[in-house]
Amino acid sequence: MSSLTRRTVHNPQYGWCGAPSSVIAAVPIPQDAVRRVPEPVMGTGFVLYVEDNDDLRELVVDLVTLVFQRRCVGVASYEELMALGEDALGCSVAILDINLGPNRRSGIDAYAWLRDKGYTGPIVFLTGHASTHPLVVEAQRIGDAQIFSKPIDADRLRSIIERERQ
Amino acid sequence: MVSGDLATRHAWRGAFAAAVLNVVGMSVDFVLARDIPTMPVYPYAVSVLVGVGLIVCLLIRRQRATVRLGSAAFLANTVAILVALWITSGHWATTGRPWTPFQANKLGALAVAMLAPQLGVGLASIAGFAAIAIGKFYVLDPEIQRVFPVGEPWFILVYALFAGVLLVYRLRGMALEREVLRVQAEAAAAEHLARTFVRLRHYTNTPIQTIAFTTELLRAKSHDLEPVLDRLARAVDRLTKLSHALAGYENALKWSPGDESLDATMDEQLFGSQRRRL
């Protein structure tokens, strides 16, 4: 457990996203460290998960961290992703929810941002929308990103995360 | 207007227009015939009164109109006109003045083709206009018959034939129009249903995903809960199958600009009507 690292990013709308759940609440993390983790702590090789649904995002962070034994950073929006800056580029795989909420930048914007910043790792879209939804159609046009439709099972999530290792 | 049904609307409008034409036409005919000493007033008066009565009746029943009401009014109006024409045409024929026979009958037959609410009523009315003209011709004095233009009264049959064809053509066009509207309404209802299903699917996918991952997380943390979590996993599996089944409606859906942000009104669209009922 102690080797696992979690990082939360402040979301002015939803509060503290990716905050420790009761599962790992016992891990002593100083309040200052939660608000601003030193860069080396985040490092590289983590799973980046962009999802606007607080419950699902925190759950995936917990699942990946506790069950799959991988570091995971959950962010709720495109703005939060940008707030990570160059740190985000250290992820080994980026899982992006396509629709990040009404009237907000989408997961496709997050994809474009990552690629623009020079991220070359795998990017996977996760969506609950219909395959004919305009945002999903737009995501399908992106050649180097896979799209998975919610709900997926834990094994599929594991295979997505482990793929870059193989 | 009358009601949502197009046939009812057409029937009401046809009967109303026929009654108005009766009032106007008979009034004009009366003015034109005022110099004929033997011409009685009562046929015009009765026909106009029937026309006015039908107009009032139709206006009163406007919100509760039916095809049957429109047809009955149309038929009553036609009978009033035919009785008036039977009486007045005889007087026109005996004036000795130049007269084009059965003009009103020919005009009436063509008007029926344009206004009759139903095929039976229309054909009966056209036949009535033709029969009145031909019948009247044969009850006139042979001396009067001889001064009729060549071909009369049989020209009325040509008019009746044309009127019959026009009537059938018009009613078939209206039937086709109603069919197109019905199909369009069904297509709109089907798309609305598909949209609802797709929205429902989108609305439930993230909660199902949350339950599925929660199950796996709990399974990893506590082996004592295996039987319970197995049941939960089976429930999630069934919900996932439902989600996949609802995905079949995606192809029936046409996305339009602005639909991308449907989450904003998802609650209202899915549950708004239910809330309003409560």
pLDDT tens series, chain A, 166 aa:
333 334 434 333 333 333 333 333 333 433 443 334 444 446 778 999 999 999 999 999 999 999 999 999 999 999 999 999 999 999 999 999 999 988 899 999 999 999 999 999 999 999 988 777 888 888 989 888 999 988 998 999 999 998 765 5
What per-residue confidence (pLDDT) applies to B100? 81
Model pLDDT, residue B145: 81
On average, the pLDDT of chain B sits at 87
Highest mean pLDDT among A46-50, B5-9, B138-142: A46-50
Closest CA to B69 of B19, B11, B18, B5: B11
How far, in Å, CA of B278 to CA of B275, rounded?
5
Banded pLDDT at B271 (limits 50, 70, 90): low
Give the full edge-to-edge strand order of the sheet including A6-7: A6-7, A72-75, A47-50, A93-97, A123-127, A145-149
Q: How far apart are CA B156 and CA B206, in angstroms?
A: 75
- Residue B134 pLDDT: 93
Question: Does A10 touch chain B if contact means CB atoms closer than 8 Å?
Answer: no
- The values of phi and psi at residue A93, to 5°, are -150, 140
Any idea which fold A6-165 has? Rossmann fold (3.40.50)
B237-276: b (≥16 Cβ within 10 Å) or e:
eebbeebeebbebbeebebeeeebebbeebeebeeeeeee
Is B260's CB within 8 Å of A101's CB? no
Q: Does A58 touch chain B (CB under 8 A)?
A: no
Indicate yes or no: CB of A102 within 8 angstroms of CB of B251: no
Alpha-carbon Rg for chain A, nearest whole angstrom, is 15
SS3 B96: coil
Burial of A45 (0-12, 13-18, 19+ CB in 10 A): middle
User: In chain A, which residues have their Cβ closer than 8 Å to the Cβ of B216?
Assistant: 63, 67, 153-154
CA B219, CA B230: separation in Å to the nearest integer? 9
Mutate to test the interface with A, among B196, B209, B249, B261 (most CBs of A within 10 A): B209
Query: Does the beta carbon of A147 lie under 8 angstroms from any beta carbon of chain B?
Result: no
Q: Where are the domains of chain A?
A: 6-165
If one compares B12 and B252, the residue with the highest pLDDT of the two is: B12
What are the domain boundaries of chain B?
Answer: 6-153, 185-277
A67 contacts in B (CB within 8 Å)? 216-217, 220
Contacts of B251 in chain A (CB under 8 A): 132
Nearest by CB to B205, which of A103, A131, A151? A151
Q: List, for residues B54-83, the tens digit of each pLDDT value.
A: 999 999 998 888 999 999 999 999 999 999
Among the residue ranges A10-19, B151-160, B240-249, the one predicted with the least confidence is A10-19
Average the pLDDT over B187-204 and give the result.
87
What is the predicted pLDDT for the residue at B121?
Answer: 95
| Percent of chain B clearing pLDDT 90 (strictly above) | 51
Q: Is the CB of residue A69 less than 8 Å away from at least one CB of chain B?
A: no
